Amino acid sequence: MSGAIDSILVEKRVFEPAPEFKAAAAVSGMEAYQALREQARRDPDTFWGDAARDMLVWRKPFTRVLDESDAPFYRWFDDGELNVSENCLDVHLSNGNADKPAIVFEADDGRVQTVSFRELHARVCRIANGIAGLGYRKGDRAILYMPMSIEAIACMQACARLGITHSVVFGGFSTKSLHQRIVDVQASLVITADEQMRGGRAIPLKAAVDEALAGPDTGRVRQVIVYRRSGGRVDWRDGRDHWLHEIEDGQADTCAPVPVEAEHPLFILYTSGSTGKPKGVQHSSAGYLLWAKMSAQWVFDAKPDDVFWCTADIGWVTGHSYIVYGTMAAGLTQIVFEGVPTYPDAGRFWDMIQRHKVTIFYTAPTAIRSLIKASSAAPETAPANYDLSSLRLLGSVGEPINPEAWVWYHQHVGGGRCPVVDTWWQTETGGHILAPLPGATPLKPGSCTLPLPGIEIDVVDEAGRSLPEGKGGYLVITRPWPAMIRTVWGDAERYVKSYFPPELGGAYLSGDSAQLDSDGYCWIMGRTDDVLSVSGHRLGGTEIESTLVAHEAVAEAAVVGRPDPVTGEAVVAFVVPKDELPGEADAPALAGALRDWVMREVGPIAKPREIWFGNAMPKTRSGKIMRRLLRIVAENGEITQDTSTLENPDALNRLHGPY
């Protein structure tokens, strides 16, 4: 771990579950939580085996729960077979949910469209029949590059129904990232839309796909399916491109789900790691779905008439687990929102909660912080102007929620009566790992509390030794769990190297630092690698650095995160130009050009907020860029530590910016 870990502020407030909430909860009281935890610890095979039999429908029952013989390549329920889409949709046709709304979709412009489980099932079947009609089969891979929509969810489910492994690329990523992923997963199918609508603006998607497919190594892609969202103009390649509505047209409303092995890859999702290239996190079918469903039921205390709204995009794992799979398998009615929280104004979320009578609201700290700011700037958009009495539970995900934002969320959105579940997890974990059970766990603002039953964690030092309470260290997960990452797609060695370093004796390295308090509550302190968290999105510092260095004007670059009250971190880049250092007059133009470059190459979310220029980067004698010092510069701080051990201490004084 680089540098000392600062001690985090000690938050003393504790919020016990309200007696009525506790009484009605599925897991009620800490004794119930402890009992589940004990049960899982004593006999994990029975715990997970029973859960998998109770909660999932199998086509071929499994006889083994966990195969550890090739650890860390764990196999769960591996001689069993099932179909994920059958478990998310067909099961609801005969359990009383058929006519219940599965999705209430609200478009950017406010148009609302509702589909029941029966209708969604039929839609998924028609799409699956259409995709199968184009010749796609189990084992193929599809890239999805789509806006938030019923269609996108239906396409993911249709892939799952056919055993096609999907990889969703967030619509905010650029052509370049899209191309990289199409090549890496060796996709033969791409599903996209003409455009996406955000905040009243149309953003082309199909055009980006066309550009990506014009790039090298994309020859496997035979077909592109296009959902007509906006009616905007698109270029068309006959024979390759198909409208979604045309391939659906005339198809049967039923489609036999294709049974797949438990370990069959349901999806691959790319995430930033500590080296340049994003990693394709490969998830399983059975273990993943089991935990996505179980954790959804536990952590959100799901009830049959809940209206659940997760504001995440389906391009992130949160959207996979708590929109498309876990919550759908749990039979929840869900709100799906196309737009942005600030359009037409910053009251949009509260207005939607009021109109749709949302009972469970799950969002990110960055959204909360930006809405706090907006509601003080424009008080008419504050939550107090809306009737939010339908809410009974609030959730947070993506980054640490600072206690002030937690308390605001609890008071102003939750009216002081809704538990706030702060859920810590990762793309790699598939589902929640540390999170309160709202009818049991006393809450401490800023802490993601305790591991869920079945999950074992620890905080350790570099040598893998457990650290005492109050000491910061590496957060690790010490036992395998069903929804864990199976491998890095196409790079098993990287999987082992990134997540199972030998010092840890088999434990999974999360990449986060944390400390436990005297109640065993976990306080996440941040990443231990160069991964930045901007608006809850994980960005690889090295990835942005490599992109900057690929620009013709750049010789060297370093990227750091500067704490930001709204976005968590802001990207700050330090650049050594190839040619002469720009003067104050030229620096803004070069900074602008570099920003546009990063936006085009990686995507708008990676665009540096500030750029500094220098003749050289401050380096250690072994040639490592001292990002720790750059971070201080980025914060406009004073460098007090001794810099005489640097190769070139002078480099620091010559930096100029920010631009």
Binding residues vs ligand WT7 (CB under 6 A): 271, 316-318, 397-400, 422-427, 448, 510-512, 524, 527, 533, 538
* Residue 658, preceding peptide bond in cis (omega within 30° of 0): yes
What is the closest distance, in whole angstroms, from the C-beta atom of residue 399 to ligand WT7 in the complex? 5
CB closer to ligand WT7 out of 339 and 400 = 400
When the beta carbons of 104 and 483 are compared against ligand WT7, the nearer one is 483
Helices of type H across 300-453: 317-319, 326-329, 348-356, 365-377, 403-408
Least Å from the CB of residue 119 to ligand WT7: 29
Rounded to a whole number of angstroms, the minimum distance from the CB of residue 89 to ligand WT7 is 24
Closest contact distance (angstroms) between CB of 400 and ligand WT7 is 4
Cβ neighbours of 212 (radius 10 Å): 25
Name which of 195 and 569 has its Cβ closer to ligand WT7: 569
Binding region: 198-201, 318, 398-400, 422-427, 512, 527, 535, 538, 549, 551, 554
Tell me how far the alpha carbon of residue 554 is from its chain's centroid. Answer: 32
How far is CA 111 from each of CA 106, 191, 572, rounded to the nearest angstrom? 6, 23, 39
Give me the least distance between CB of 610 and ligand WT7, in Å please.
Answer: 22
- Residue closer to ligand WT7 by CB (options 129, 487) is 487
Nearer to ligand WT7, 48 or 425 (CB): 425
Q: Which residues of 6-45 are buried (b: 16+ CB within 10 A; e: fewer)?
A: eebeebeeebebbeebbeebebbbbebbeebbeebeeebe
Nearer to ligand WT7, 265 or 577 (CB): 265
- Annotated binding-site residue numbers for Mg(2+): 549, 551, 554
| Helix pair angle (587-601, 541-549), 10° resolution | 120
Cβ proximity to ligand WT7, 349 vs 424, nearer residue: 424
Nearest distance, CB of residue 348 and ligand WT7, angstroms = 21
Long-range Cβ contacts of 220-223 (<8 Å, 24+ apart): 220/186, 220/187, 220/188, 221/182, 221/187, 221/188, 221/189, 221/190, 222/134, 222/135, 222/188, 222/189, 223/134, 223/136, 223/188, 223/189, 223/190
The structure tokens listed for 263 are: 């370990």
CA dihedral angle for residue 578, residue 579, residue 582, residue 586, rounded to 10 degrees: -100
Please tell me the distance from the alpha carbon of residue 379 to that of residue 529, in angstroms, as a whole number.
39
The verdict on whether omega for the bond into residue 61 sits within 30 degrees of 0, i.e. cis, is: no
Signed CA dihedral, 484, 487, 488, 490: sign only: negative
Query: In the bound complex, what is the minimum distance in angstroms from residue 569's beta carbon to ligand WT7?
Result: 11
User: Least distance to ligand WT7 from the beta carbon of 261, Å?
Assistant: 26
Q: What tokens were used for 592?
A: 């602008």
Q: Of 145 and 316, which CB lies nearer to ligand WT7 in the complex structure?
A: 316
CB of 218 to ligand WT7, least distance (A): 26
Q: Residue 99: which of 85, 119, 113 has the closest Cα?
A: 119
**What is the H or E stretch that residue 206 is in?**
helix 206-213
Nearest CB to ligand WT7, comparing residues 431 and 608: 431
C-alpha Rg value of the chain to the nearest Å = 24
Rounded (to 5) percent helix, strand, coil in the chain? 30, 25, 45
What CA–CA distances, in Å, run from 236 to 206, 241, 618? 9, 6, 50
- The pair of structure tokens assigned to 326 is 């876990």
Residue nearest to ligand WT7 as judged by C-beta position: 427
Long-range contacts of 230-234 (CB under 8 A, 24+ apart): 230/193, 230/194, 230/195, 230/196, 230/197, 230/202, 231/194, 232/194, 232/195, 232/202, 232/204, 233/194, 234/194, 234/204, 234/206, 234/207
Residue 30 CA to residue 349 CA, distance in Å, equals 33
Task: Give 224 or 483: the residue with its C-beta nearer to ligand WT7.
Answer: 483
Check if the beta carbon of residue 562 is closer than 8 Å to that of residue 296: no
Closest to ligand WT7 by CB, 120 vs 401, is: 401
Q: How far is the CB of 322 from ligand WT7 (least distance, A)?
A: 9
**Smallest distance, ligand WT7 to C-beta of residue 72, A:** 18
Cβ(389)–Cβ(434) under 8 Å?
no
Q: Which is nearer to ligand WT7, 285 or 318 (CB)?
A: 318
- CB of 483: closest distance to ligand WT7 in angstroms? 12
